[in-house]
Amino acid sequence: MALTRTSVGLSVGLVVLVAVALTRGSHDSTFAPMVGRGHAVLVHLPIGALLASAVFDWFVAPERTARAADASRLSAAGVLRLLGAWSAIAAAIAGVLLADWGSYAPETLRWHRWLGVLTAVAAVAWFVVRDGLQRPLSHSIVTVRSGAAALSGMLVLSGHLGGTLVRGDDYLTRYMPQSLRDVARLPDAERLTHRRVVNAAETPVFDSIVQPLLTQRCASCHNAERKLGGLDLTSADGMFDGGREGKVVVPGRSDESELILRLELPPGHLDAMPPDRAIPASEIALLRWWIDQGASATVSLADIARPSSVRRTLAAYGLEDVPSGVYALTLPEPDTAAMSAASRAGFMVQRVAGRSALLRVDASNAPASWSAGSLALLRPLAQHIIDLSLARTSSDDASLAVLAEMPNLTHVQLAHTGVSDAGLAHLRELRQVEVINLVGTAVSDAGLRVLETMPRLRAVYLWETEATADGVARLRRAHPRARVVRETATLVTP
């Protein structure tokens, strides 16, 4: 089964294609983008020619399309197959060069690149089998139609991936009416940009905003395998390590960060990133915001400052009013019978908002019949209570054992009660406490040790206690961002 000269030439073209596909281009030369941008023109030729030949193969009997009557000449379908094979090679070479210089979604690009190469290989193989042998083979109609269908499928899939790279994966459905979106089970159009975040306190800004943005816009060139300029932008470590020319991010100073400077260069500038298209100004603003806030890889959405300049963009991503901490919990409905029993005993029990399952409980205005033992009535509601006030009640150290069963407590009012260091020991395992008022109690430096272990603490009120200046200083060192008030002159209601 000797090959014709045409088949040999196509084989050489495939070797060149594979060689180009296995090498990496460089941004230091304009040759790659110059040739690569021809991909948009060339790619339509193999699609048209190969699909037209597939139509011939499907609807015309194989014996009439295998070869012309004169074995030295190609049939009309053979001419289309030859044109499709050569143009597929040319389009694939241009596409590979463009990929080495562009900025595309890495995973989609990887599939499109190699499927494009395989399509060119398949086009050449189909030409050789059908037209490129000196002694043509005979094929059954099933074989011909199967081959035509397979090649057409590769063309359609590769073309779809190419369109996705350029236009986005929602190009065909972006303006679809909501009624059709519902039938197709597509997400609401206004929520296409939203990112699912369950708990802002447990979601780092870098993971939810910065890294996805850098991966989408920059990872095709700056990944762990390729690292153009020695820079890897697919991880926090890679970004902070910088590239061959030094650091690209200066925490707290976006104006001095090379990453921002490159992103804001005009398209077409040889140092611009990405080289082929500008990043939207709103996305650059998000990167600037994150860098100016310290460029921390761990700071959460709940803890980072949100200036007005980024609020609208965050809202578009669905990240402006994300629930945090206990407000992100999904809890069953509180026991209404237990709520009623607590109310009859002198507690004021309120939902935090509307139909929320979170509760505020206040015993500071309880009748004289109220006693510390009444706290046991709150046990059925323990997981729902986030705000508890026992100020000016007869609560003592032993009664605080009930509070240890309230894992979601954020605000605790114990002012002017009989609580001491022994009572605070019951609170040691509470991890959500943010504000605690200990005014007028017997708490000393030993009790403050318990507060040092509370990770979310942001305010402590300690006047008229036995806490010393040294103990307060130690607590402030443990929680440098917390407000620790020991002087009555700065009274603030928590």
Q: What is the pLDDT of residue 1?
A: 54
Q: pLDDT: is 272 or 94 the higher one?
A: 94
pLDDT of 441 > 50? The answer is yes
Q: In this structure, are residues 119 and 169 in contact, taking their beta carbons and an 8 Å threshold?
A: no
Task: Count the alpha carbons within 13 Å of 284 in the hemisphere toward its beta carbon.
Answer: 17
Q: What is the pLDDT of residue 229?
A: 81
Average pLDDT over residues 285-300: 93
Q: pLDDT: is 103 or 158 the higher one?
A: 158
Say which range, 115-124, 228-237, 265-274, 293-302, has the weakest mean pLDDT.
265-274
Average pLDDT over residues 67-88: 73
- Which residues, 6+ apart, have CB-to-CB distance to 158 below 8 Å? 112, 115, 116, 119
Say which range, 65-69, 350-354, 368-372, has the weakest mean pLDDT.
65-69
Say which range, 60-64, 348-352, 393-397, has the weakest mean pLDDT.
60-64
pLDDT of 342 > 90? The answer is yes
pLDDT of 116 > 70? The answer is yes
Q: What is the pLDDT of residue 66?
A: 44
pTM of structure:
0.52
Average pLDDT over residues 111-139: 83
Q: What is the pLDDT of residue 65?
A: 45
Average pLDDT over residues 29-51: 85
Q: What is the pLDDT of residue 131?
A: 78
pLDDT of 61 > 60? The answer is no
Q: pLDDT: is 142 or 70 the higher one?
A: 142
Average pLDDT over residues 349-374: 86
- Residue whose tokens read 């943005």: 213
| pLDDT band at residue 67 under the 50/70/90 scheme | very low
pLDDT of 467 > 60? The answer is yes
pLDDT of 491 > 80? The answer is no
pLDDT of 133 > 90? The answer is no
| pLDDT band at residue 135 under the 50/70/90 scheme | low
pLDDT of 39 > 50? The answer is yes
pLDDT of 303 > 50? The answer is yes
- Which residues, 6+ apart, have CB-to-CB distance to 250 below 8 Å? 256, 257, 291, 295
pLDDT of 480 > 60? The answer is yes
Say which range, 1-15, 78-92, 178-192, 199-213, has the weakest mean pLDDT.
178-192
Say which range, 168-172, 355-359, 388-392, has the weakest mean pLDDT.
168-172
pLDDT of 128 > 70? The answer is yes
Q: In this structure, are residues 152 and 50 in contact, taking their beta carbons and an 8 Å threshold?
A: yes
Q: What is the pLDDT of residue 171?
A: 66
Q: What is the pLDDT of residue 72?
A: 47
Please state, as a whole number, how many other Cβ atoms lie within 10 Å of the Cβ of residue 226: 17
Closest alpha carbon to 104 in 281, 277, 317 = 277
Tell me the percentage of the chain whose pLDDT exceeds 90: 45
Q: What is the pLDDT of residue 121?
A: 94
pLDDT of 219 > 60? The answer is yes
| pLDDT band at residue 309 under the 50/70/90 scheme | confident
Q: What is the pLDDT of residue 237?
A: 93
Q: pLDDT: is 362 or 306 the higher one?
A: 362
Q: pLDDT: is 141 or 452 the higher one?
A: 452
Tell me the percentage of the chain whose pLDDT exceeds 70: 86
Q: What is the pLDDT of residue 282?
A: 87
Show the 3-state SS of the chain: CCECHHHHHHHHHHHHHHHHHHCCCCCCCCHHHHHHCCHHHHCHHHHHHHHHHHHHHHHCCHHHHCCCCCCCCCCHHHHHHHHHHHHHHHHHHHHHHHHCCCCCCHHHHHHHHHHHHHHHHHHHHHHHHHHCECCCCCCCHHHHHHHHHHHHHHHHHHHHHHHHHHHCCCCCCCCCCHHHHHHHCCCCHHHCCCCCCCCHHHCEHHHHHHHHHHHHHHCCCCCCCCCHHHCCCCCHHHHHHCECCECCCCCCCHHHCHHHHHHCCCCCCCCCCCCCCCCCHHHHHHHHHHHHCCCCCCCECCCCCCCHHHHHHHHHCCCCCCCCHHHHCCCCCCCHHHHHHHHHCCCEEEECCCCCCCEEEECCCCCCCCCHHHHHHHHHHHHHEEEEECCCCCCECHHHHHHHHCCCCCEEECCCCECCHHHHHHHCCCCCCCEEECCCCCCCHHHHHHHHCCCCCCEEECCCCCCCHHHHHHHHHHCCCCEEECCHHHCCCC
Could you state, in order of their start, the residue ranges of all structural domains in the chain? 5-167, 193-325, 329-490
Q: What is the pLDDT of residue 218?
A: 84
- Long-range contacts (CB closer than 8 Å, 24 or more residues apart) made by 270-278: 270/27, 273/103, 273/218, 274/102, 274/103, 274/217, 274/218, 274/221, 275/27, 275/33, 275/101, 275/102, 275/103, 276/33, 276/101, 276/102, 276/103, 277/103
Q: What is the pLDDT of residue 459?
A: 95
- Highest mean pLDDT among 89-103, 292-306, 397-411 belongs to 397-411
Q: Which CATH superfamily is domain 329-490 in?
A: Ribonuclease Inhibitor (3.80.10.10)
| pLDDT band at residue 132 under the 50/70/90 scheme | low
